[in-house]
Structure 1
Amino acid sequence: MSFPNLLSWRSATAGDDAQIERHLHASLGSGDASLDRIAAYFTSVPASRHRARIAAAASLIAKPTSGEALHPDVVDVSIAVELVHIGTSYHDDVIHKTQTRNRAPTANKTWGDLEAILAGDFLIARASELASNHGTEIAKDLATTIGWMCEGRQRELSAIGRVIPVDERLETLSLSVGSLFSTATRIAGTLAGMPEASIARLAKVGGHLGSAFAIGADIDRFVAGEPSTGRSPLYDLKRGHFTLPVLLSESPPDAALLDHGAATVEHQRLRAEGVVQRANNLLRAAMQSAIDELANFDNNAARQLSAVLGTTTV
């Protein structure tokens, strides 16, 4: 799945992205040149900034504006959620011993595990600082979400080598990935001063989009692997990390398939069974749930975002 640019309906899309990038890089100075260099390593790589974009899009739903540029406060909170994602990616690369990301050596490969962990910590700390500039409620929401993400990642590690129920995998994805999308939209609503009921609806939009993104990533890993990290489609099967398509099988493997030939045969069997289509159905349902929630907001930004989601090809 190619996840859409959630700001593509804006006439100022390129300007929005450039504004986010400028402020992202401006937020990284620490006073220590070596830490700055490592922390900026992957923030300088071109990326889609999905979490920042959903925060910005949600802010335009929460507080429609005729201005072309995003408000600086909106950019601040958008960057905060994006920095959490980038910081946890540094940590993930250490946990999984990843050697490449975006086809470049990872920070842990280049500088070492300790340096990568410190850089990830710094990025998350900077995200917390940006959030705290806009009140304790927003800072608390972000801190709570970081805890959920840690819980989700621990669940992923605990599930290696086990066949878990599909609902458990979906809940894990919701915690480790979807929660940050949900919080991005919740923070946008809080920043705009929306009533709590409206904030909750906006958070549901983000949650459904986060679920769709996470399901799509699981499908991509099963079908094509992770080209950005050099992992093949067999990588997860061989280590017993069963993604959603595998768990949707009527007879999933019950252990890691360490042998390359056995993993290849199993991968072909699963694809022939139609597990990708089943996973795609769940992805479509999550996208439709986001569209349905957007119908609660009667403004142009909500309608435009709904249209973007409605034309997304799965």
Structure 2
Amino acid sequence: MQIQRKTRKPRIQRLKQQNRRIKMKKIIVTGCNGQLGRAVNQQYAGSTEYELVNTDVAELDITKVDKVLELAREVKPYAIINCAAYTNVDKCEVEQDLAYKINAIGARNLAIAAADTGAKLMHISTDYVFPGNVSAHPLTEFDRVSPKSMYGATKLAGENFVRDFANRYFIIRTAWLYGDGHNFAKTMLKLAETNDKIGVVMDQVGTPTSAVELAKAIKYLLPTDNYGLFHGTCEGDTNWAEFAAAVLRLAGSKTEIEPITSEEYKRRFPNSADRPAYSILENYMLKLTTDFSFASWQDAIEVYMKELLAK
């Protein structure tokens, strides 16, 4: 009897593990190698309920509807999280067709696949859908959109396609995102290595948002039926120059930040696209419909810098 128990126990454990794998809900993640994609993977690491099917451009071309449908029908996902985007604001002005393919058609194709397979769709958008004019109050989900850049126009087109084709969807607009990858904070640290002074724009305001905080919001919303449009940024606001100064202070750098105007920046970099002067979003729908809240931008950047400097 003792010998039988010893031989049967591992088999029972294997069967339980197989059953757990069978019951796990699969989530297709696009743009898995980007800042947000990596943060999403971090949030779901070790999950016994969800299994991520990670894709990037090498695994899935979201601009091809047949490829997207093929993968979705094979995986039969519980949800699709779209972290893929063409985010180079300057290049979007030049490579407009590519920007529309990735930011608009890609979103459309994922929405079609989500509807076809009964999956939920989590789509990430941007503050650039707004005109960027100075506002008397933080922008809510109910304020009028009117993008001034090609990046904003293509992302708004993506939002509209999601609304048109997906049955169960979440759209989260975020801003000034940073995480594990190329970002503004790392650019400042790199420049500080060889410069005693760095000129940074001081008349563009918004909220630096941690990819980790956004991934937490995604994980919070996804199991719910609280569908629709949301803003998702860290709390509080600042400008680029103050944000840069905070990054360098936390890094212990002696490099000075020189606040400059957007006009001065354009003189130095004449080919750069216009950036919004005002990008402060209010997470109004989250406040109205949930008890979820983002960390302040100050707390979030402090956490990020501690982890970055510890590497």
Structures share a fold, TM > 0.5? Answer: no
Q: Structure 2 length normalisation: TM-score? A: 0.32
Query: Greater strand share, 1 or 2?
Result: 2
Structure ranking higher on relative contact order (CA contacts 8 Å, 6+ apart) = 1
Q: Structure 1 length normalisation: TM-score? A: 0.32
Structure number with greater Rg is 2
